[in-house]
């Protein structure tokens, strides 16, 4: 599906969709619990559907109680009795894949994982190094990652500068073991706020992790997950696109956001304020890499140069997001340079419009749509259906706010 957008500024009130990151975590916590949990305000994006498929692979079940409410019938720490290896279809969701790998080992002693797009190319070295140390078999063959072995209580040391998702996977799995465990980050953890989100979701299910960030250490108690009710808050990473529209001249009121949220991407509001002012600016995005596409759009039309640093992890997303963000801006008449682990953008007065390859990446598609509001000519986005991965109603919201968008 390709989208044609005639440039116009947006106006109105908008509530960002539910936090995909927190929804993953609450749904998994509910699946590991005994009894039935209710998770409200869940958007069934492709990534969330991937997590629900993996919940079923564990032997749990779920149902939609109403359009945005999911009822999870948890299976608790029950090991499947049929002797088969659970099969996990993770779609294109990196969170789903990395969260469920240690869970499968803790609950079933094995698991076979598949995915689509670039998912199975994403690095898993922190897990694999741990598995080698602890005698757990792992191999990737023909796009299928197989893990087999016994996850035991104890100390788990892994680097914090690859992805917080490895920490989250262990935080979910270790309470299922017989004794307490400890996770230690051997380097300063990037995206530490995502770990805090996991600790919050675990607390909802009765698992109380002792966090010691100054020591880069988390003590994980052995215990049973309990059923619970929770509501997923709006997503700050998606809100960033609407903040970008405001920086480019639209007038939007963002509703429902919690400025004290545990979501690290809440810094989008602060960065939008900085990029609304003229002058050169440098922003370290190591803790919020998903914000780079909307931040890049904010930087594209302003007085001054913006440089986004420590962004190498973006090369391992749905697309090489440093390359595709730069390509998107250049296609629309922006002025940018892509470096090894950074992006430099020199602001221009207006963008010209043009054709953007969405690159199969939801965040590139949304960034291009927001950039279109400040173009002098129309914008065509190829592969716009990629928004279904995280924000299926994005173009509906865009149109409701006055956007002139048409399927071509």
What is the spatial distance between Cα 320 and Cα 343, in angstroms, rounded to a whole number?
Answer: 12
Residue 172 corresponds to which tokens in the numbers above?
A: 């979910």
Angle at 153 between CA 194 and CA 131, to 5 degrees: 75
Secondary structure of residue 295 in the 3-state scheme: helix
Read off the pLDDT of residues 78-89 as tens digits, 9 standing for 90 and up: 655 466 789 999
Given this model, what pLDDT does residue 78 score?
Answer: 63
Read off the pLDDT of residues 308-343 as tens digits, 9 standing for 90 and up: 999 998 887 888 999 999 999 999 999 999 999 999
Average pLDDT, stretch 114-142?
94
What is the spatial distance between Cα 57 and Cα 370, in angstroms, rounded to a whole number?
Answer: 38
Given this model, what pLDDT does residue 337 score?
Answer: 95
Read off the pLDDT of residues 185-244 as tens digits, 9 standing for 90 and up: 999 887 889 999 999 999 999 999 999 988 999 999 999 999 999 999 999 999 999 999
Whether residue 122 has pLDDT greater than 60? yes
The model's pTM: 0.92
What is the spatial distance between Cα 291 and Cα 288, in angstroms, rounded to a whole number?
Answer: 6
Given this model, what pLDDT does residue 304 score?
Answer: 97
In this structure, are residues 58 and 107 in contact, taking their beta carbons and an 8 Å threshold? yes
Catalytic annotation present for 290: yes
Please state, in angstroms and as integers, the Cα–Cα distance from residue 301 to each residue in 137, 336, 347, 370, following that order: 51, 11, 5, 12
Instruction: Give residue 402's Cα distance to chain centre.
Output: 28
Domains along the chain with CATH numbers: 3-17+235-407 (3.65.10.10), 20-221 (3.65.10.10)
Average pLDDT, stretch 393-406?
97
Q: What is the mean pLDDT of the chain?
A: 94
Per cent of the chain over pLDDT 90 is 89
Choose the catalytic residue: 235, 290, 357, 397: 290
Average pLDDT, stretch 353-361?
96
Given this model, what pLDDT does residue 129 score?
Answer: 95
Read off the pLDDT of residues 256-285 as tens digits, 9 standing for 90 and up: 999 999 999 999 999 999 999 999 999 999
Residue 287 corresponds to which tokens in the numbers above?
A: 């803790």
Cβ atoms < 10 Å from Cβ of 288: 26
Exposed / middle / buried, residue 187 (Cβ in 10 Å: 0-12, 13-18, 19+): exposed
What is the spatial distance between Cα 7 and Cα 245, in angstroms, rounded to a whole number?
Answer: 12
What is the spatial distance between Cα 206 and Cα 29, in angstroms, rounded to a whole number?
Answer: 10
Given this model, what pLDDT does residue 181 score?
Answer: 97
């Amino acid at each position: 599906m390709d989208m044609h957008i005639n440039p116009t500024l947006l106006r109105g009130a908008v509530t960002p969709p539910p936090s995909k990151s927190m929804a993953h975590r609450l749904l998994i916590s509910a699946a590991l619990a005994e009894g039935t949990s209710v998770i409200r305000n869940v958007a069934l994006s492709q990534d969330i559907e991937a997590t629900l498929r993996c919940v079923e692979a564990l032997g749990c079940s779920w149902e939609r109680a109403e359009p945005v409410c999911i009822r999870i019938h948890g299976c608790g720490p029950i090991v499947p009795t049929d002797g088969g290896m659970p099969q996990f279809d993770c779609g294109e969701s990196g969170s789903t894949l990395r969260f469920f790998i240690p869970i499968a080992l803790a609950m079933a002693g094995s698991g076979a994982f598949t995915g689509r797009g670039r998912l199975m190319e994403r690095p898993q070295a922190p897990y694999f190094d741990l598995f080698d140390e602890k005698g757990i078999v792992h191999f990737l063959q023909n796009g299928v990652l197989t893990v087999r072995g016994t996850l035991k209580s104890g100390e788990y040391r892994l680097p914090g500068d690859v992805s917080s998702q490895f920490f989250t996977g262990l935080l979910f799995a270790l309470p299922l073991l017989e004794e307490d465990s400890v996770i230690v980050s051997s380097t300063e953890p990037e995206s530490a706020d995502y770990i805090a989100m996991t600790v919050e979701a675990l607390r909802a299910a009765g698992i109380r992790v002792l966090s010691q960030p100054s020591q880069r250490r988390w003590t994980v108690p052995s215990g049973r997950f309990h059923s619970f009710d929770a509501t997923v808050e709006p997503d700050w990473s998606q809100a960033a696109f609407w903040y970008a529209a405001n920086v480019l001249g639209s007038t939007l009121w963002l509703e429902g956001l919690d400025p004290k949220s545990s979501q690290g991407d809440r810094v989008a509001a602060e960065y939008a304020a900085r990029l609304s002012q003229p002058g050169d600016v440098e922003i370290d995005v190591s803790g919020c890499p998903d914000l780079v596409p909307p931040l890049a759009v904010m930087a594209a039309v302003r007085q001054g140069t913006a440089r986004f640093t420590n962004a190498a992890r973006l090369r391992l997303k749905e697309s090489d997001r440093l390359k595709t963000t730069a390509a998107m801006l250049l296609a629309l008449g922006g002025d940018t340079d892509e470096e090894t682990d950074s992006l430099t953008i020199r602001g221009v007065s207006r963008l010209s419009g043009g054709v953007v390859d969405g690159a199969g990446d939801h965040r590139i598609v949304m960034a291009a749509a927001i950039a279109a509001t400040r173009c002098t000519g129309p914008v065509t986005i190829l592969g716009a259906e990629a928004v279904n991965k995280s924000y299926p109603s994005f173009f509906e919201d865009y149109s409701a706010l006055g956007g002139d968008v048409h399927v071509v």
